[in-house]
């Protein structure tokens, strides 16, 4: 049986209409090219679905295949080569897999100055997907197809090859043998004019995409046990969305209940009151990382403590590298460059964790004056070699594949990486305490 208690204080929340930024001793730069958007306009949870990319040359019928799968005209179809420009995303439901995002990409053989930019956008999609469909026609598998398959291998993307327009030119057995010299991927024949082939496509997709991508994974599985008490501390400041809780908090509540535990939710202002009233001692406390200093001072030392950011890092991030890289904070020197990566775009305030609070805390902790660059969304950083430390946000709006591939250049260059929660815990001297729950 699951139970939930929600505590709230009687004080009215102050609504901050405008912030005046004080002069900072740390230089902060926003390198993001994405427009900032209001959080309430964001499609929460959309990017958490499995991502499937469709790739191939121009006019190979990629957009037609997407329209056929979703049974809607969501992608523009034309006889003119290069109709698809920027990657186009569509949410659909696939029986046996569930909700997914299908991404239509520009032709890999596009040319010209604009065409090269489209191709670059197409290649960047590979770093963010969980499965790929490589579309070919006319028994042709050459330079462009080999380029794509090499990229799939580099980023660990499972894929299969779809030979399209089979009603005009069926796949040739000798041709398949030639493909085997370069790729062992499954090859299927397909045509939108032959409806019976759709079942083969869907079944092949189900066998290609890893089950771990679409099967629900527990945030706290293996950390908590049935009937235990889990206390969630959820501060509300100007960064909190009006009238609702943020996604990590909502997902944590649901996961606690799914594990048949008792979930207690309160603000940090009620935390001391909770323990003073001799309420049930929690088996685990999860807080917003920004409240670590205060929460650590209130929660008894024998009660396990961690944060929402760290829980997400354990589930989706490069957790072992985070653990090793966090101590790199102590090695920072004056003028070292620190890269801060956010997985979403949002409206910025003076209480922004990535752009203001973390740089300030790290500067105070180290006694040095490093420079901080911020990149939001899932924009790729062309060159990470000049950075001494990379700090990734909790990643609640990204998939594990997206986070791993985004940090891959840093890992390959032996640049220390960490995440918001672990960095804040380290600065506050409680790194061992907040990581202990994951060592069991």
Residue 400 CB neighbour total at 10 angstroms: 17
Give the closest residue to 162 by CA, choosing from 204, 210, 104: 204
Give the pLDDT confidence of 310-340 residue by residue, as tens digits.
Answer: 998 898 888 999 999 999 999 999 999 999 9
CATH class, 46-214 region: alpha beta
Instruction: Report DSSP letters for 122-139, one per residue.
Output: HHHHHTT-SEEEEEE-TT
Give the closest residue to 223 by CA, choosing from 435, 370, 1, 81: 435
* pLDDT at site 351: 57
Pick the CATH number of 318-437 from 3.10.20.440, 3.40.50.300, 3.40.50.11410, 3.20.20.410: 3.40.50.11410
* pLDDT at site 74: 52
* pLDDT at site 18: 29
* pLDDT at site 190: 94
Give the pLDDT confidence of 50-64 residue by residue, as tens digits.
Answer: 899 999 999 999 988
Is the Cβ–Cβ distance between 322 and 393 less than 8 Å?
no
Is the Cβ–Cβ distance between 310 and 424 less than 8 Å?
no
As averages over each run of 10 residues, the pLDDT of the chain (440 residues) reads: 40 28 36 33 53 94 86 53 67 84 92 90 91 95 95 94 94 91 94 90 92 76 94 80 79 94 95 93 95 96 95 88 95 96 60 85 96 82 89 81 86 93 96 91
* pLDDT at site 400: 80
The encoded tokens of residue 190 equal: 């397909």
Percent of the chain with pLDDT over 70: 81
> What is the dihedral sign for C-alpha 71, 72, 74, 80?
positive
**Secondary structure class of 427 (helix, strand, coil):** helix
CA distance 171 to 140: 10
User: Could you state, in order of their start, the residue ranges of all structural domains in the chain?
Assistant: 46-214, 318-437
Say yes or no: do domains 46-214 and 318-437 share a fold.
Answer: yes
């Amino acid at each position: 049986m699951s139970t939930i208690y929600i505590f709230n204080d009687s004080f009215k929340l102050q609504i901050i209409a405008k912030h005046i930024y004080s002069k900072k001793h740390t230089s902060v730069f926003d390198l993001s090219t994405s427009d900032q958007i209001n959080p309430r306009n964001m499609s929460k949870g959309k990017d958490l679905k499995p991502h499937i990319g469709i790739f191939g040359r121009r006019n190979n019928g990629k957009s037609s295949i997407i329209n056929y799968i979703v049974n809607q005209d969501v992608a523009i179809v034309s006889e003119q080569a290069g109709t698809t420009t920027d990657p186009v995303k569509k949410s659909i439901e696939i029986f046996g897999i569930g909700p997914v995002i299908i991404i239509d990409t520009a032709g890999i053989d596009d040319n010209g100055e604009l065409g090269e930019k489209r191709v670059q956008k197409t290649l960047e999609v590979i770093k963010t997907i969980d499965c790929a469909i490589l579309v070919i026609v006319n028994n042709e598998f050459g330079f462009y197809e080999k380029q794509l398959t090499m990229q799939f291998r580099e980023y660990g993307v499972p894929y299969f090859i779809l030979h399209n327009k089979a009603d005009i030119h069926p796949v040739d057995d000798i041709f398949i043998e030639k493909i085997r010299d370069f790729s062992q991927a499954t090859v299927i024949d397909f045509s939108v004019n032959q409806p019976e082939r759709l079942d083969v496509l869907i079944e092949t997709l189900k066998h290609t995409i890893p089950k771990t991508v679409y099967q629900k994974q527990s945030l706290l599985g293996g950390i908590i046990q049935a009937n235990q008490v889990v206390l969630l501390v959820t501060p509300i400041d100007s960064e909190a969305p009006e009238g609702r809780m943020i996604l990590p908090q909502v997902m944590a509540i649901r996961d606690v209940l799914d594990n048949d535990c008792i979930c207690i939710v309160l603000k940090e202002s009620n935390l001391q009151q909770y323990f003073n009233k001799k309420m049930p001692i929690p088996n685990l406390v999860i807080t917003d990382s920004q409240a670590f200093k205060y929460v650590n001072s209130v929660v008894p030392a024998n009660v396990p403590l961690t944060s929402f950011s760290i829980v997400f890092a354990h589930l989706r991030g490069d957790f072992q590298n985070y653990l090793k890289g966090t101590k790199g904070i102590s090695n920072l020197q004056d003028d070292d460059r620190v890269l801060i990566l956010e997985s979403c775009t949002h409206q910025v305030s003076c209480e922004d964790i990535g752009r203001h609070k973390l740089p300030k805390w790290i500067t105070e902790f180290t006694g040095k004056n490093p420079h901080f660059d911020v990149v939001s969304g899932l924009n790729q950083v062309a060159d990470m070699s000049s950075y001494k430390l990379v700090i990734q946000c909790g990643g609640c709006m990204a998939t594990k594949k997206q986070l791993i591939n985004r940090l891959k250049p840093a890992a390959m260059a032996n640049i220390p990486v960490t995440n918001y929660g672990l960095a804040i815990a380290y600065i506050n001297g409680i790194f061992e305490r907040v990581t202990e729950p994951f060592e069991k």
